[in-house]
Structure 1
Amino acid sequence: MAERIAVRFKGRGESLEDLYQVAALGLVKAVEHYDPARGHAFEAYAVPTITGEIKRHFRDHMWTLHVPRRVQDLRNRVRSSMKELSQSTSGHAPTVAEIAEHAQLSESEVRAGMEALECFSALSLEAEMPGTDGYALGTPWAARIRRTKWSSTA
């Protein structure tokens, strides 16, 4: 069960083996805190506990900077509202007021969430950067070879 939950989070910047370990820790916590007297099935308690442990791991260990949970939540709400609104509006980017209404946030909270969208994303060393002609930062030799190849044939 823990491994099935961990697999849902693969491809988000953490190795699958590490996700398995975090999920196993969540399973141990679920076993320790489960109370059968409450009348719920163990799985109904364990799944959210394991999922929460994995999300907590991402929140606490995967950000380059420590970002307060409140700001992370604002960022996520603003991002999802922008995505939903951009699909429903007629080709224009949603305004701060539209996002605030849709996300049930104040305009200042939306602005804080928008700033977090721009400020707190770490780039992978293999991320494509503007002006690199599609070569990732992790492949400087490929760019050098390409420049050499084109300059020698010109």
Structure 2
Amino acid sequence: PANPPHSLRPPDLVEPVVADAEIRKIIKDLKPKSAPGLDRLTKSHLLSLPPTWFSTITNICNACLRVGYFPDQWKVGKLITIPKPDVDPRDITAHRPLTVTSNLGKVLEHVILNRLTPRVIDLLPEWQFGFRPQMSTL
């Protein structure tokens, strides 16, 4: 296929134990103006779902982790461009490309991040400051 499936394995690194409370917190912590992907689901839409739907999202995330699958629909993005300030807008390099993806995909990404970060953080050398929580590169 054009986009081969991504594996979330090995299974010992990804424990498929996701709770409704974790899903609620992840959705609540999405950026306030997080743009919707092609599914048009905004953060507000997700927060206004009835409790049974949080359980459904939780079950989907658990199933994705268990079988090592990230839904293709959540990987498809919409490309938009943001003009750079003080540059001729007719110049192609005067625009910054940005891909907007599904907020449900962002939820699953955070679930994966929450499980991998504690296992990877101790593997990084002590002088690695970038991409680490509560560390500054300045």
| TM-score computed with the length of structure 1 as normaliser | 0.27
| Greater strand share, structure number | 2
Greater Rg over alpha carbons, structure: 1
